[in-house]
Structure 1
Amino acid sequence: MRYPASHKLQTRRRIVAMASLRFRAEGLAQVGIANLMADLGLTHGGFYAHFASKEALIAAACGEALEQMNRHWRQQLADSRDGGCLAALAGQYLSPAHRDFCDSGCLTAALAGELARQGPEVRQRFTDGLQPMLDTLDEARRRDGTGPAPLVGLALMVGALLLARTVSDSGLSQRILDEARAALLDG
């Protein structure tokens, strides 16, 4: 049976989407290709029709997750009034819901430590995906007329989310989110 021409692209997208979710939820090393493909109802051997290596899959999943986050931020900006852009971004990013669901949240906060140990292909894809996010934060700052430099804002948000996810004390976790949001908006 022949598949339509779009089948391979659709299958690749499914693999990348599932990998992106699983990598953020479980970590890079814990996700095996055989189990990932089985979760999708595909064979392990079929993986190599789409990717040369696990590193290539990690790079693709990384790029997709960063693009997805920036699309979400861009939509939030489109829905925000000038003067409230950073508050909208920070309100969602530094929220208990985002803290509690890392599999669908920010790739950077979930995997930055692991990504730093990856090869050049993955790190380049991460670097390429970071600039649009910085541009979005810069636009939010310009529209608000205040706020930290984009790199500072991103570092504050990612660092706070990472810490809030890591501590065992729920009160401290919430305090980290609240204080980071306040610091971001004090700009």
Structure 2
Amino acid sequence: MRYPDSHKAQTRRRIVAMAALRFRAEGLAGVGIANLMADLGLTHGGFYAHFSGKDELVAAACGEAQRQMAEQWRPLLENSADGGCLAALADHYLSPAHRDFPDSGCAAAALAGEIARQDAGVRRAFAAGLGPLLAQLEDARRRDGAGPSPEASLAMMVGALLLARAVPDAELSQRFLDEARAALRAQGE
């Protein structure tokens, strides 16, 4: 049976989307290629028709996860009044839902520690994926007329989310989210 020309590209997109979800949920080391492909109803050997190895998949999945985060932020920025843009992004990012469901959230908060130990190509792809988020944070700062640098905003949000996920104390976890959100709101005013 011959597949249509678009089949290979569609299959690659499915693999990348599933990997983006699974890597954020389980970590890079927690996801094996054979299991990932089996979950998609594909063969382990078929993986190599799309990727040279796991590093290439990690790079693509990080880019996809960051693209998804930027897409989540897009309507928040579009629907925010000037003066409330950074607050809208911080409220979304520093939410209990984002803390509790890393599989659909930001790859930086879910994977940065592991990405730091990857080869330079994976780290470059990860950094490139941050570009749209930093651009959106710069747009928020411009529209708000004040606020921290995009890098400082992203670092505060990612750090607070990482800590909120790491601690077993529910009250402390919530304080990390609340205090970072309040600090970003105050700096954006």
* TM-score bracket for the superposition, by shorter chain length: over 0.9
Aligned partner of residue 25 in structure 1, secondary structure? helix
Segments ≥4 residues shifted beyond 2 Å:
none
Structure 1 residue 80 and structure 2 residue 80: aligned? Answer: yes
d(CA) in 1 for partners of 2:133 and 2:119?
A: 22
- In the alignment, which residue of structure 2 is the partner of 1:36? 36
Aligned to 2:122: 122
Distance 2:130 2:101 in 1: 21
Residue in 2 that maps onto 1:145: 145
Give deviations 1:95-125, integer Å, cap 9, x for gaps: 0000000111110000000001101111110
Q: CA deviation at 1:82?
A: 0.8
TM value normalised by structure 1: 0.98
Aligned match of 1:55: 55
Length, aligned pairs only: 187
Percent identity between the two aligned chains? 72
- Partner of 1:146, secondary structure, is coil
Q: CA deviation at 1:182?
A: 0.5
For 1:59 and 1:75, the matched residues in 2 are separated by 26
Q: 1-side partners of 2:57 and 2:144: how far apart?
A: 38
**SS across alignment from 2:3:** coil
- Report the alpha carbon displacement of residue 26 of structure 1 after superposing the two structures with TM: 0.5
Measure, in 1, the Cα distance between the counterparts of 2:17 and 2:130: 19
* Residues in 2 aligned to 1:19 and 1:151: alpha-carbon distance in whole angstroms: 26
1:71 maps to 71
SS in structure 1 opposite 2:147?
coil
What is the rounded CA distance, in whole Å, between the counterparts of 1:80 and 1:5 in structure 2?
41
Distance 1:121 1:61 in 2: 13
> What is the aligned partner in structure 1 of residue 17 from structure 2?
17
What is the TM-score normalised by the length of structure 2? 0.97
In 1, distance between residues paired with 2:99 and 2:127?
23
**Residue type at the aligned position of 2:175:** R
The residue number in structure 2 matching 1:180 is 180
Please tell me the residue identity of whatever aligns with 1:97.
A
Q: Which residue of 1 aligns with 2:89?
A: 89
Q: Name the amino acid aligned to 1:116.
A: A
State the Cα distance separating 1:129 from its structure 2 match: 1.2
Q: Deviations over 1:72-106 (max 9, x none)?
A: 21221011111111111011100000000011111
Specify every segment of 5 or more residues in structure 2 that has no aligned partner in the other structure, as ranges: none
| Residue aligning to 2:170 | 170
Gaps of 5+ in 1: none
Deviations 1:1-29 (A, max 9, x none): 00011110110000000001110111101
